[in-house]
Structure 1
Amino acid sequence: MCYSAQIQADYRKYVRTFGSDVSLERFVELFWEKRRDGGWSKLPKAMRAAFRSAASSEDLAIADLVEAGDNEQGAALETELFQQRTRLTVAERTLEAKPTKKAENDKRIATDKIARAQRNLADLQRTDLLDRDSRIFPGHYAPVMVVQDGRRVVIPMRYQCRLPGWTPAMERQKPGTYNARRDNLKKAWRQLYGYKHGIMIVNAFYENVARHRLEQRELAPGEQEENVVLEFRPEPRQDMLVACLWSVTKGGEGEADLYSFAAITDEPPAEVSAAGHDRCIVPIKPERLESWLNPDAKNLAALDAILDDRSRPYYEHRMAA
């Protein structure tokens, strides 16, 4: 399963390459919502940064939202640092006077939280963008291009699809819906396959792999399975148009609608399988884009053919940083 991906987070790439419009209203709703509910960190830094250079009055309003959200996030991290440094000082004084298990735990936890808060604060304040600023995980948001009312439009969506009719409680019982298995599209995903198609631009993806499978060997007697994270990149380097399914759930009173999506995955090519993983994202060919974004639910065979006739780059892998 594609548990993480490095995406094209700048909506302007979609505009320049595909002539798409942008749902600025949805970006505004999302940024306001994540400021309110504490989910600011689920918005990739690169996606927020795209609005820093405002080109219109609408962009300027979003740029102000981004700046305010970043400032609030920074203040929260500064507060966390102060609290944990205080906790660390108290723990160290206690250990000097009379060592206790609680003080040892407090020192360890405070030290870890200080380091994490410092890293997060440095990332927040950094102005140059790194690859990791475009990386998403389940529950994070990414630009997804779809067709609405006959026009291509970019909408920020959550990477974990809430299927039609699901409640938040039902969603929590099945947390793996950030991927839609190819062999299940006409079953679990039948309400979306043939109806709501999109693409996400991806230039790398990440997978959890068992070390012994990566090394193409059996576990040794008594050896515990160890997980490693691999980064897969197409060679030559390129942006891939990853096939997605999406849904929109009406928000409750005072809540914004939830746009969410899943990446379609299929059996892996030989090089991904040899690296120890059994799934792979499905990048569609550019010439198939129009047909994919305008599906005919009465002709699923044509959609199957698009997924069969996919782009097939060679995926190089390495241990993820």
Structure 2
Amino acid sequence: MCYSALVKRWTDKNSGLPIMVRDQKDIYEKAATEDSKRFPPLRDRIFPGSYGPVIHQGKGESFTSELMRYGAYPPHTIANPKKYTTFNARRDNLLSNFWSVGFMKHHGFVVLEAFYEWVAVKDLLKAGVVTLAQVKAEFEKQSEERKARILAAGKKYKPTPTETKDPRLRQIVIEFKPNDDKPLLVPTIFSFSESGEGFDSGTDSGFAIITDVPTPEIENAGHDRCPVILDWDEMQRWLNPKSMSAEDFLELLNNRKKPLFEHKLAEAA
């Protein structure tokens, strides 16, 4: 999965891409003030349920960037949709009924600078990039920050069962970033809410990042998925869902780019 991601916002005119950016910040912030649970504050690092800029085919030859929820809306025929992960879509599962509302209908992409995942500490240590001392220091820092928040709220602090666990039996968040620091063009599919309005009074839209099997260095660090990455020429084909067959699109995704990723300890939130 892609638990969290650092999104590059294409707001400057020097991006080199013909993208029209919808200025929705003021409208969104007003909605966030009125209902912060549905509309969390805008941040560059997105989490499931938060909103980020998705680029998709606009009118004519232009592309449009607009805010969408990180988490697609499944078909209304799906029973108990809340038990499913809706923010990541596996490449090998795109033909399922679950993703039928987005695949071959609504294609877009996000531009990522990095992505974040929970991994088992024992697997991470095996990769040899992070030491046990560094892991312990990070856990201690997180515990101290939690303790400070609780005491500041006038409540009694007590360590959680997880905090008292052997660090080697816990999980920790890792940042994966390409070693050349180049932005990653990551394909998405998006869909619309069956009921309820979005922050701009229209039907709410949500997206899922397309993922595939990991590259060796990601797998060695203890994670089993990786966002699909395309170049700009491939992305232009992806953005036109009527241009190819489903099999052709799956092949396009299968031939994804595989940059070398570096990883390091990261903040959990």
**TM-score interval (norm. to shorter):** 0.7 to 0.9
Q: C-alpha displacement at 1:252, in angstroms?
A: 3.7
The separation in 1 between residues aligned to 2:197 and 2:106, in whole angstroms, is 25
Paired residues, number: 225
The TM-score normalised by the length of structure 2 is 0.75
Counterpart secondary structure, 2:101 = coil
Q: Deviations over 1:64-111 (max 9, x none)?
A: xxxxxxxxxxxxxxxxxxxxxxxxxxxxxxxxxxxxxxxxxxxxxxxx
Q: Give the equivalent residue in structure 2 for 1:6.
A: 6
- Give the structure 2 partner of residue 107 of structure 1: none
Structure 1 position 185, deviation (Å): 0.6
Q: Once the two structures are aligned, what percentage of the paired residues are identical?
A: 32
Amino acid at match of 1:35: T
Match status 1:161 vs 2:72 = yes
Residue 318 of structure 1: aligned partner:
264
Poorly superposed stretches of 4+, deviation over 6 Å: none
- Select 1:146's aligned residue among 36, 44, 56: 56
23 and 216 in structure 1: CA distance in 2 versus 1, 3 angstrom threshold? same
Aligned match for 1:237, one of 175, 178, 181: 181
Distance 1:13 1:275 in 2: 35
| Equivalence for 1:272 | 218
TM-fit CA distance, 1:256: 3.7
| Greater gyration radius | 1
Q: Could you say which residue in structure 2 is the equivalent of 1:182?
A: 91
Change over 3 Å in CA distance of 1:227–1:251 after alignment to 2: same
Match of 2:232 in 1: 286
- Greater helix share, structure number: 1
**Within-5 A mapping of 1:1-321:** 1-9=1-9, 11-13=10-12, 16-24=15-23, 27=25, 29-39=27-37, 42-45=40-43, 134-150=44-60, 151-165=62-76, 170-174=80-84, 176-187=85-96, 188-216=98-126, 225-249=169-193, 251-252=195-196, 255-296=201-242, 299-321=245-267
* TM-score, normalisation: structure 1: 0.63
What are the ranges of 5 or more consecutive residues in structure 2 without an aligned counterpart?
128-164
1:18 alignment partner, SS class: coil
After superposition, the Cα gap between the structure-2 partners of 1:35 and 1:257, relative to the gap in structure 1 and judged at 3 Å, is: farther
Structure 1 residue runs of 5 or longer lacking an equivalent are: 46-133
> Could you say what secondary structure the match of 2:74 adopts?
coil
